[in-house]
């Protein structure tokens, strides 16, 4: 029987510290619909299924249901690493939208995480952007700062700012103005194969407590069993890389800037600090010194680690909330003896909190997505149908759909989503959900800067690759990355 692994202290929600403060203690936190200070798996369970919402009725107040219009809409959709369940919910959403707003001609286009930014930037250059776009959390500030987006706050689509995670609201705010509405927010957790741990002589029910333990466990697994211990990811231009390295960087006390503090200023570059170098050294030790992680880490992403894990060839990795469902999908597609092997892995899956740094600091990327409305001059045809766009945003960010669209892969951006009956159902059906929701208070948003996409998608992976390939020493790679960030911030 698979058990959820949680430290009891965490369960009580007592060890949250500075990271939680950064996420929760903002001025925006007036009267949220849920009590974030009580956040724990028990609390989440206690509020699930306690309130009903009428999505169509609520959105009718924003845009009448008989409104006639046209909307072009791009969104970060499902990709190869997502579970089938999520595909179905996306399909259901668009069908429901068309039924709810039968007179809105919707032209939607799904793009993968790694393609969306490039395509959207290109479209903006030609004034051929869609009227509304759902971007990854990293992207909003870049486009807001350049003046492409219209001011848009939750109140414009029938909600309150307090209905959303304060950390998520930070990511859609530039220069004091709000430019978008969060749709979903997630934090990752840690996943391991108890059977591999046992065979490697490790406690099968105990996650590595610190990142130093991860390095040790990874080596032990590799040395004893000849398979990869930890699922390192270091591909460039892939969202998976910063999502997996930044928690390590922050846990060691490092950072790109001071983004892990309660009130970040983003003034000083800290990538070359001893703490940041210690985090990079840990990756170096696993990849180069111990050779205990997949060699393919430099060209692969998380979607490549998932089959390795389900094949029993990988001991542990940072895991998205959806990974349990992905494993089930992969198992269903397996044939012959592979099917049984995959089932064994699934039975031995364990989820726990992401390890801490040497000083007990635990951190994870506060991820998610936001919806934005473009200014008409950048849109194909020069017109934006605002009521149609707001209808779409109201529906997607509603408690019902922000939960359903995040059913297997994330968490609702709208905190009221945690109160819906679907959340209750989800808690019963999605294994390990408690763990991933428990990580939410440890979430740190990426720096809310227009330069963040380049820092996270190019400079950080470059730093990792330079160190791991031996092209530079760990010190040189960190110094080089710090210089690149300084140059970037200096407008070079």
Alpha-carbon dihedral sign for residues 250, 254, 260, 262: positive
Any residues with CB less than 8 A from the CB of 111 and at least 6 apart, and which?
Answer: 74, 75, 76, 77, 119, 120
CA distances from 208 to 316, 319, 356, 448 (A): 10, 14, 9, 31
Residue 356 CA to residue 354 CA, distance in Å, equals: 7
Task: Tell me: does residue 14 bind other proteins (CB under 8 A).
Answer: no
Give me Rg for the CA atoms of the chain. Answer: 22
Question: Least separation, in Å, of the C-beta of 114 and other proteins?
Answer: 9
Question: Least separation, in Å, of the C-beta of 33 and other proteins?
Answer: 36
Q: For 193, list phi and psi in degrees, rounded to 5.
A: -100, 110
Judged by beta carbon, residue 400 or residue 480, the one nearer other proteins is 480
Residue 262 CA to residue 136 CA, distance in Å, equals: 23
Report the site for other proteins in 307-366 (rule: CB under 8 A): 308, 313
Judged by beta carbon, residue 308 or residue 317, the one nearer other proteins is 308
Question: Least separation, in Å, of the C-beta of 269 and other proteins?
Answer: 16
Alpha-carbon dihedral sign for residues 79, 82, 84, 86: negative
Any residues with CB less than 8 A from the CB of 265 and at least 6 apart, and which?
Answer: 257, 258
Contact 415, 164 (CB under 8 A): yes
Judged by beta carbon, residue 183 or residue 457, the one nearer other proteins is 457
Nearest to 484 by CA among 458, 453, 448, 465: 458
Question: Least separation, in Å, of the C-beta of 171 and other proteins?
Answer: 17
Judged by beta carbon, residue 187 or residue 465, the one nearer other proteins is 465
Residue 60 CA to residue 330 CA, distance in Å, equals: 40
Question: Least separation, in Å, of the C-beta of 2 and other proteins?
Answer: 26
Report the site for other proteins in 298-317 (rule: CB under 8 A): 298-299, 308, 313
Question: Least separation, in Å, of the C-beta of 287 and other proteins?
Answer: 10
Question: Least separation, in Å, of the C-beta of 181 and other proteins?
Answer: 23
Task: Tell me: does residue 188 bind other proteins (CB under 8 A).
Answer: no
Question: Least separation, in Å, of the C-beta of 434 and other proteins?
Answer: 32
Task: Tell me: does residue 177 bind other proteins (CB under 8 A).
Answer: no
Contact 330, 342 (CB under 8 A): yes
Question: Least separation, in Å, of the C-beta of 55 and other proteins?
Answer: 36
**Per-residue string for binding with other proteins, 233-262, x by CB under 8 A?**
-xxxxx------------------------
DSSP 393-431: HHHHTSHHHHHHTTTTTS-BSBGGGGGSHHHHHHHHHST
Question: Least separation, in Å, of the C-beta of 238 and other proteins?
Answer: 8
Judged by beta carbon, residue 54 or residue 487, the one nearer other proteins is 487
Report the site for other proteins in 209-228 (rule: CB under 8 A): 228
Residue 32 CA to residue 489 CA, distance in Å, equals: 35
Contact 257, 447 (CB under 8 A): yes
Report the site for other proteins in 111-170 (rule: CB under 8 A): 118, 121-122, 125, 145-148
Report the site for other proteins in 441-480 (rule: CB under 8 A): 450-451, 454, 457-458, 461-462, 465-466, 468-472
Task: Tell me: does residue 289 bind other proteins (CB under 8 A).
Answer: no
Strands 364-365 and 443-444: parallel
| Residue selected from 88, 296, 348, 476 as contacting other proteins according to rule CB under 8 A | 296
Judged by beta carbon, residue 50 or residue 122, the one nearer other proteins is 122
Any residues with CB less than 8 A from the CB of 36 and at least 6 apart, and which?
Answer: 24, 29, 441
Judged by beta carbon, residue 207 or residue 308, the one nearer other proteins is 308
Judged by beta carbon, residue 65 or residue 311, the one nearer other proteins is 311
Judged by beta carbon, residue 323 or residue 462, the one nearer other proteins is 462
Point out which residues bind other proteins (CB under 8 A).
Answer: 118, 121-122, 125, 145-148, 228, 234-238, 294-299, 308, 313, 450-451, 454, 457-458, 461-462, 465-466, 468-472, 488, 491
């Amino acid at each position: 029987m698979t058990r959820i692994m949680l430290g009891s202290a965490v369960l009580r929600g007592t060890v949250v510290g500075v990271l939680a403060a950064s996420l929760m203690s903002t001025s925006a936190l007036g009267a949220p619909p849920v009590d974030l200070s009580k956040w724990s798996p028990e609390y989440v369970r206690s509020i699930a299924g306690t309130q009903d919402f009428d999505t169509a009725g609520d959105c009718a107040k924003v845009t009448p249901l008989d409104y006639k219009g046209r909307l072009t809409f791009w969104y970060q959709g499902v990709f190869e690493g997502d579970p089938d369940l999520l595909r179905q919910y996306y399909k259901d959403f668009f069908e429901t939208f068309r039924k709810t707003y039968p007179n809105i001609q919707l032209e939607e286009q799904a793009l993968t995480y790694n393609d969306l930014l490039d395509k959207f930037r290109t479209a903006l250059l030609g004034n051929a952007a869609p009227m509304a776009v759902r971007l990854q959390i990293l992207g909003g500030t870049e486009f807001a700062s350049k003046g492409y987006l219209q001011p848009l706050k939750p109140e414009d689509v029938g909600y309150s700012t307090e209905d959303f995670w304060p950390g998520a609201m930070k990511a859609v705010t530039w220069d004091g103005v709000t430019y978008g509405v969060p749709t979903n927010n997630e934090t990752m957790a840690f996943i391991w194969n108890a059977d591999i741990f046992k065979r490697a002589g490790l406690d099968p029910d105990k996650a590595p407590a610190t990142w130093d333990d991860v390095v040790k466990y990874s080596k032990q697994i590799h040395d004893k069993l000849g398979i990869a211990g930890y699922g390192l990811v270091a591909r460039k231009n892939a969202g998976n890389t910063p999502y997996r390295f930044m928690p390590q960087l922050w846990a060691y006390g490092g950072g790109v800037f001071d983004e892990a503090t309660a009130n970040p200023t983003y003034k000083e570059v800290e990538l070359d600090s001893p703490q940041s170098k210690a985090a990079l050294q840990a990756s170096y030790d696993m990849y180069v010194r111990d050779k205990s992680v997949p060699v393919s880490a430099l060209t692969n992403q998380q979607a490549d680690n998932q089959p390795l894990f389900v094949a029993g060839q990988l001991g542990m990795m940072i895991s998205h909330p959806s990974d349990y469902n992905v494993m089930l999908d992969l198992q269903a597609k397996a044939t012959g003896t592979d099917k049984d092997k995959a089932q064994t892995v699934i039975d031995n899956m364990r989820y726990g909190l992401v390890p801490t740094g040497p000083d007990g600091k635990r951190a994870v990327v506060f991820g998610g997505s936001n919806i934005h409305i473009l200014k008409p001059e950048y849109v194909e045809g020069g017109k934006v149908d605002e009521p149609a766009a707001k209808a779409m945003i109201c529906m997607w960010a509603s408690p019902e759909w922000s939960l359903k669209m995040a059913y297997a892969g994330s968490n609702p951006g709208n905190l009221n989503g945690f109160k819906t009956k679907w959340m209750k159902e989800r808690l019963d059906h999605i294994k390990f959900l408690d763990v991933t929701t428990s990580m939410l208070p440890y979430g740190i948003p990426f720096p809310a800067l227009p330069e963040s996409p380049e820092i996270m998608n190019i400079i950080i992976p470059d730093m990792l690759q330079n160190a791991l390939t031996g092209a530079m020493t760990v010190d040189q790679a960190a110094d080089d990355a710090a210089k690149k960030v300084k140059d970037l911030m200096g407008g070079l």
